[in-house]
Amino acid sequence: MPGTESGNVHVVDEPLSRHKMAVLRDERTHQREFRQAMREMALILVGEATRRMPTRTASINTPLTETKAQEIAGPVCLVPVLRAGLGMLDGALALLPEATVGFVGLFRDEQTAQPVEYYVNLPGNLEGYFVIVLDPMLATGGSLSATLTKLKEYGADWISCLHAVSAGPGVDRVTAEHPGVHFYTAALDPELDENAFIVPGLGDAGDRLYGTL
Ligand code: PRP
């Protein structure tokens, strides 16, 4: 796989993902282009995350003859973390159009940086699903850790998380608290500032996607 790997952390670092990161990070990138680049980043990250999915043999007929083919060996559930995760959903569904979609609504309290849950709508039982969490940013890891705890309550046991940019401290936290989960990120930034924003990061993904700057 392109990029670097450390345990369950996969840094998807190759020319195309670097180019999209440059667009996402640039403060001159306006809402429309930012949304487009985030969608394209989701395509790249889904392509990487699906490499870990087992496939099974299916018998099919081509126009010429019967043959064997490989298909993903189970249902997929995409889980965008509202709001910013919605910016990756369309791209993910372009590659996995049969996927179920569940939603987790969390925002980070600006004073405390703690996650506040306001909406959950997931399939009743996630056992047997390949669950893919979508969120452009992993900062302190508080939102993602709460999301993963919720998904496990619903029975999820195969989970991958996709992020455009992650901060080292947040990655350390979620890998310690959720050791069986895999994380795919196009960039791994070293630090958080005093407001728990990723530095250099890309700003606030939700605000840039939806024009609420
Ligand atoms: C952002 C981001 C993550 C979270 C990361 O969402 O999309 O969900 O913050 O921060 P953490 O790792 O420190 O928890 P935000 O709270 O800004 O909400 P929004 O998506 O509605 O804009």
Pocket mutation for ligand 1, best pick of 108, 165, 175 (most atoms within 8 Å of C-beta): 108
Region label for 155, one of left (φ > 0), alpha (ψ between -120 and 50) or beta (otherwise): left
Please identify, by atom number, the ligand 1 atom nearest to the C-alpha of residue 136: 7
Q: Give the pLDDT of residue 110.
A: 81
Q: How far apart are the first and last CA of the chain?
A: 36
pLDDT at residue 3 in the model: 57
Whose Cα sits closest to atom 6 in ligand 1? 107
Using the mean position of ligand 1's atoms as its centre, give its distance from the Cα of residue 165 in Å: 12
* pTM, rounded to two decimals: 0.95
pLDDT lower than 50: segments of the chain = 1
Among protein residues, the one whose CA lies closest to atom 10 of ligand 1: 139
Domain ranges of the chain: 4-210
Ligand 1 pocket residues where CB is under 6 Å = 81-84, 106-108, 113, 115, 135-144, 170, 196, 204-206
4-210 sits in which CATH class?
alpha beta
pLDDT computed for residue 1 by the predictor: 45
In the reported structure, the alpha carbon of residue 87 is separated from the centroid of ligand 1 by a whole-number distance in angstroms of 13
